[in-house]
Each structure stands twice: as C-alpha cells, then as structure tokens.
Amino acid sequence: MKIVHAASEAFPYMKTGGLADAVGAMAGALADKGHDVAVFLPGYRAALAHPDAAQAERKLRLKIEMGNDFIAGDVRVFSPRKNLRVFLICREEYFDRSAPYGNGERDYEDNADRFIFFCKGVVETLRLADLQADVVHAHDWQAALLPLLVREAERRHNVTLALKTIFTIHNIAYQGLFPAPTFARTNLPDELNNIDGLEYYSQINLMKGGILFADRVTTVSPRYAQEIQTPEFGCGLDGVAQTRADDIVGLLNGVDAAVWNPAIDALLPARYSSANMAGKQVCRAELLKRCGFAANYSGPIYGMVARFTEQKGVNLVLENRNFFLSAECRLVVLGSGDKALEDAMHAFTAEAPQKISLSARLDEAMSHLIEAGSDFFLMPSRFEPCGLNQMYSQVYGTVPIVSRVGGLADTVIDLDEQPATGTGLMCAPTAVGLRAAMQRAQTLFVDRRRYSAAQQRGMARDFGWATAAKGYEKLYSDSL
C-alpha cells in the first residue's frame, strides 16, 4: 500500500513527546513490512538540520491559497531507509524556529496559519507529485484538517488523492481551537463553518474536523477510545466522538525496539537483559552520581520523565511531599513545561537536594538513564491516551506505578490484583491513591524475590510494533 502519514512530530526529526515516538515507529514498522510510506512533517529548523536531511532534494515549489493570500513554500524530500520517504513542507517564516509550537510560556500566535499551511502543503504535494495514496493518515489537531482538505481538493480538481483517510487522536486535550475568522484561511465551503462542521462554540476546532470527516478514527489505546466518548475525558468533544462511535477503534502503540531496548541502548553506560541484569546496577550507580546522591544508597529510586502539564500528575507528586521527605527513597525527575509546576518542583528539590533531583530540560540520554537506573517509574497521569514510558519501564526492568486510566490501564498489570502475572502498581489518579501505591512499592522493594519476579515478567512482555502495525494494515485495507 501507499501510505501517507502527516504529523507535527516524528522521531528523530522533531520530538516534544510521545507523538513523535509513535509516528516515527509506526511509519518505520509499516515501511519494514514492505509498504511505500511517506511521512510529512513541517520543515522545522531542527528537521532540516538533521543529518538525514543533508541529502534532501527540493521536490516542489508551493503557492498555497490561504484566504485571499497566496503563500509560498517548498517541499524537500529525503529517504532515511528503505520504503520510507520524509517530505518536509518548508517555509522559513513559519518553521525556522527553535521550537515547534511556542516559546516557553505561550503558543506562537500564527499557529493556525502554520498548520493550515502545512496541511494544504501536504494536499498540494499529493496532487502535484501524483503520489496516488491508498491512505492518508493524519495525527492530532495539527494535521486534522487533512481529511476535509483532501476531499475538497478532489472535488475542486476532479481527481482522486487518497482512497481512505484516517485520523488518529493522540491527545484530545489539544484541539487546535482558534478564533472564528480563522475559518477563512482554510478556504473550505461556508457550509462547513457550522455546528456540523468546524464551528465550536463560536470558534473553530480543527480536531473536531478530523473526528467528523476522516473515514476512520483511531485512538492510541482501546480504553481511551471509550474514555473520549465520556464527559470526564472527552474535553468537550465527547458528543462529537459519540457520533463516530462505530468508526472509532483503539490500537495500542508499541515500543520501538531499535530505540528502547536495554540490550543495545547506546545512550546507557552499560547494557543488560533479563538474563543478565548486572548492567542495570551500573546504570543505577551512574544515575545516583548524575543526581549528586550518595553512591552507597541502596533503597528504592523513583524515576519520572514527563512533560510538565496537568495531564501528567506532577502535582500529585508534589502533594506527596511528606512521603518523599520522610520515606527511605530517592526521587529523580526529568521534565519541563508549565512554569508554575517547574518552580514548585525546584522548590521541592531545594528542601532535600540529597534525595530529590530535577532536570528541567529536554534530555534524551537522561530519559534513557532514568528508565534504566530507577527501581520504580512514576506515571500518576490524570488521563493518558496511551503513554509510552510505562511500557519502556517494563522493558527496562523498572516497575511502573501508574494511575488506572487510558493506555496505562491497558498496559500495566497490577501486582496485588494479579500476583502471578503482575508487572506494576496501579492507583487512583489522586494524591492519596498515589501515596498508597508508593507505600506498596516500599514494601515490594524489600521483598527481593517478588520484586525481581515483577521485573522479569515486565521484561518478558511483548510491546513490539508488530501488533499495532497489523491493526493499521487491516484498518487501511478494510472496505469502508
């Protein structure tokens, strides 16, 4: 099949979170199965500076209609591996910036234009380069206009650009909500600017368009497919999601074993496997050293790697201040984002720098070291569409502590509920719930037999992309 992915992130060219890992790995897995895969990304500064892009050729010049303007750009293409091409939709004014969505506190003011331009650039490339896609697969709000724009371009130019469109919701909390006049920039027919179209409480909502107009909609875990249809998790789009109930399917993300595998992980000071865990001790020692903690510490280390947002339950960790200060434990946090959360976490580490550490930056190597060197991994998310770190934890022999929501509930087996198969600890997404789970963790850690059995079971689980790739293949080839 000819499969076109469009997203605002794909590892290794642009990453702020799991979207990048998921899109990069999904595209790679489908390419490995012999499909002809194209991944479209905005031509960010970082993507163009990536060594793979050094051989990029300029494929097309674009002149994109946006409202009454025509905006120029170009398309560059390179092929990082067999069956995979990366198309960068470039326009310096939009994408030659240091970050993809905003500067620290605020989103860029021209984000609507930037991502509408991106989607239109994808459609123009499909048409002008005659890509003959079987499937156009759009991810999250930044690409959510594609299903509509593809059909609109087909109507206008009397051509077929894609047999099928798929829209994947990686996170319904980010919807691409913009002021009403933004609609004009889409050049879509006015009849789409109403309650059955993009209009949403007097604004326009790009994700709503993806949900309503894609041929099929997917979420990144089965449980999240149900959750988004409820007021508690739907972020105001639950009613919209319900209208597509028959067309929504949840396909669990996998782990890219070329990137997240302790046996070959070049970012670690030592490698290990379930058969020989010695390397994990080396990683643990390195982690203690990097945090400035005493080298002879032998109690449990709790790791956390997360974007600092409401979603990730950083405040639940902060609310458990007393636990971390009084219990025998170490806490290692890697994360940045919300300024207030960062400040609060900094203040917390200052209370006990000998046992709590925060690295408030993006640091790929440190994220691997925390997965490998910790004993427990904290992920007390309020909601979690899939979540990757809890899977990485299991693969790295680190016992995850997660809240019972979304993909976390789908991928972790609670040790007390299922003693024979358990791989982690589950809790309610509250401060009290998290504390109870950490108390269970303290007890588990000293029961070495039970702890290492949980590690071994986690490491034996198969989180490979093969299952998800099969699910997508079926979705792409099923008749509508």
Name the one residue in this structure whose structure tokens are 């030659």. Answer: 96
Q: Which of residues 1-40 bind ligand GLC (CB under 6 A)?
A: 17-19, 22
Nearest-approach distance from CB 352 to ligand ADP, in angstroms: 21
Q: Which of 21, 414 has the CB closer to ligand ADP?
A: 21
The smaller minimum CB distance to ligand GLC, of residues 19 and 459, is found at 19
Decide: is 256 part of the binding site for ligand GLC (CB under 6 A).
no
CB of 46 or CB of 150, closer to ligand ADP: 46
Beta carbons within 10 angstroms of residue 420's beta carbon? 8
Secondary structure letter of residue 99 according to DSSP: S
Q: Which of 255, 334, 401, 431 binds ligand ADP (CB under 6 A)?
A: 334
* 88 vs 259, beta carbon nearer ligand ADP: 259
**What are the distances in angstroms from CA 477 to CA 58, 193, 410, 468?**
32, 31, 26, 14
Is 303 among the residues that bind ligand ADP (CB under 6 A)?
Answer: no
* Position among 18, 100, 380, 458 found at the interface with ligand ADP (CB under 6 A): 18
Pick the binder of ligand GLC from 89, 220, 329, 356 (CB under 6 A).
220
Residue 220 contacts which entry, ligand ADP, ligand GLC, none (Cβ below 5-8 A, type-dependent): ligand GLC
Choose among ligand ADP, ligand GLC, none what residue 205 binds, the Cβ cut-off being 5 to 8 Å by kind: none
Strand partners of residue 401: 378, 425
Q: Does 171 help bind ligand GLC (rule: CB under 6 A)?
A: yes
Q: Please give the structure tokens belonging to residue 63.
A: 């002149």
Rule CB under 6 A: is residue 387 a binding residue for ligand GLC? yes
Q: Which does 86 bind (CB under 5 to 8 A by kind): ligand GLC, ligand ADP, none?
A: none
**Joined tokens for residue 426:** 């589950």
Interatomic CA distance for residues 371 and 455, integer angstroms: 13
CA atoms within 13 A on the CB side of 476: 21
Can you tell me the distance from the alpha carbon of 23 to that of 39, in angstroms, rounded to the nearest whole number? 9
Contact 261, 425 (CB under 8 A): no
Rounded least distance, CB 395 to ligand ADP, Å: 12
Output the CA torsion 423→429→373→326 (10° steps). -120
Does 315 participate in binding ligand ADP (rule CB under 6 A)? no
Within 10 Å of residue 200's Cβ, how many Cβ atoms? 20
Kindly tell me which of 62 and 468 has the beta carbon lying closer to ligand GLC: 468
Is 254 one of the binding residues for ligand ADP (CB under 6 A)?
no
Residue 371 interacts with ligand GLC (CB under 6 A): yes or no? no
| Residue 267 near ligand ADP by CB under 6 A | no
Q: Does 336 bind ligand ADP (CB under 6 A)?
A: yes
253 binds ligand GLC (CB under 6 A): yes
Min separation Cβ 307 and ligand ADP, Å = 4
What's the min distance (Å) between Cβ of 126 and ligand GLC?
24
Residue nearest to ligand GLC (CB): 18
Q: Residue 344 burial by CB count (10 A; 0-12/13-18/19+): exposed, middle or buried?
A: middle
Question: CB 443: neighbour CB atoms within 10 A?
Answer: 10
Q: Which is nearer to ligand GLC, 22 or 454 (CB)?
A: 22
Phi and psi (nearest 5°) for 419? -55, -30
Q: C-alpha angle 291/18/168, rounded to 5°?
A: 170
Q: For residue 213, what are the contacts with CB-CB under 8 A and spacing of at least 6? A: 147, 148, 151, 165, 167
Does 306 contact ligand ADP by CB under 6 A?
yes
First to last CA, the chain: 16
414 binds ligand ADP (CB under 6 A): no
SS3 384: coil
> In 3-state terms, the chain is what percent helix, strand and coil (to 5)?
40, 25, 35
- Confirm or reject binding of residue 385 to ligand GLC (CB under 6 A): yes
Out of 52, 74, 363, 473, the residue judged to bind ligand ADP by CB under 6 A: 363
Pick one of ligand GLC, ligand ADP, none as the site partner of residue 307 (Cβ within 5 to 8 A by kind). Answer: ligand ADP
| Piece in contact with ligand ADP (CB under 6 A), picked from 130-138, 194-202, 382-390, 453-461 | 382-390
Buried b (16+ CB within 10 A) or exposed e, 273-300: ebeeeebbebbbbbbbebbebeeebeeb
Would you tell me which residues interact with ligand ADP (CB under 6 A)?
Answer: 17-19, 21, 305-307, 334-336, 362-364, 367, 386-389
Contacts with ligand GLC, residue ranges (CB under 6 A): 17-19, 22, 170-171, 220, 253, 384-388, 407
